[in-house]
Each structure stands twice: as structure tokens, then as C-alpha cells.
Amino acid sequence: MENSQESLFNQAMERYQSGAPVSDVIGDFEAITASTPNQSAGWTCLAWLQLLSDKNQDALRSARMAVKLNAQDPQARINLSLALLETGSKGVRDHIEFVKRILITLPDFEKELRSSLEDGLKRKPGWQSLLKVQQWLEL
């Protein structure tokens, strides 16, 4: 990723993590994925924002792209699981099982994952699909 795109990504992430509304940062991630379509982190973030915005079909496409570009990214797998649940699609179990294996082999990731799930519930209280994923992962 070139330097200006990396800077845009970092700025957008910083704004999101500082509590900016999803609607204020989603356009940045759409621009990032349009200009650097092979960057999996951009697709992962875009899918998350689309899920928070109830753009579930868009989130499904973005999450599939993120997993295609980096099949080892647990957050991309979580997002894909959520998008599959939200759209009533099949295949959730394989992605949940993958994340469970990651949690066993990389226990430090659990803190990051918990933080992500808490953020999702804070921004979208009562999110049923996220509550299911949280329960399945026993977090």
C-alpha cells in the first residue's frame, strides 16, 4: 500500500476508534478499497462498517473479499460470519471454527476480539448476530 493510502487508512481508523459515527468514516474505507483493492484490512474494516450500517449484502461482498485476500485474518472471518448470518446464508460454522482454532493457538488475540465485539455491541446495541457469534466463541 502506498504511503498516502496508508495514511488515509490510519487516519480513518483513528477517527473510528475515537468514536466518529460510522457514517463519517465509511466513505473513507470505500475510497481505500477502490484505490487499493488488494489490501485486505481495508475490506475487513469496510465490511464491519457496512454491517453496523445494516448494509448486509454489501458487507457480505466486502467480507468475502477480505477473507479471499487474507484467509488467516480472524476479524475478516468474524465479519464474514456476521454477514452470512445477517443475510441468511450458509457457511457460518466453518468460519467460527477457524476463529476458535486461532483463539487456541494465539490466545493474545482474544483481548482484541473481545474489544471488537464490545465495540459492535456499543455501536449497535442488541445486535443479535453478534451476540450469537459471541456465544459460539464463548467470549
Give, in order, the Cα–Cα distances in Å from 1 to each of 35, 67, 102, 132: 10, 18, 26, 35
**What are the tens digits of pLDDT across the range 83-120?**
999 999 999 999 999 999 999 998 888 999 999 999 99
**pTM, 2 dp:** 0.93
Domains of the chain: 3-136 (1.25.40.10)
Flag whether pLDDT at 5 surpasses 70. no
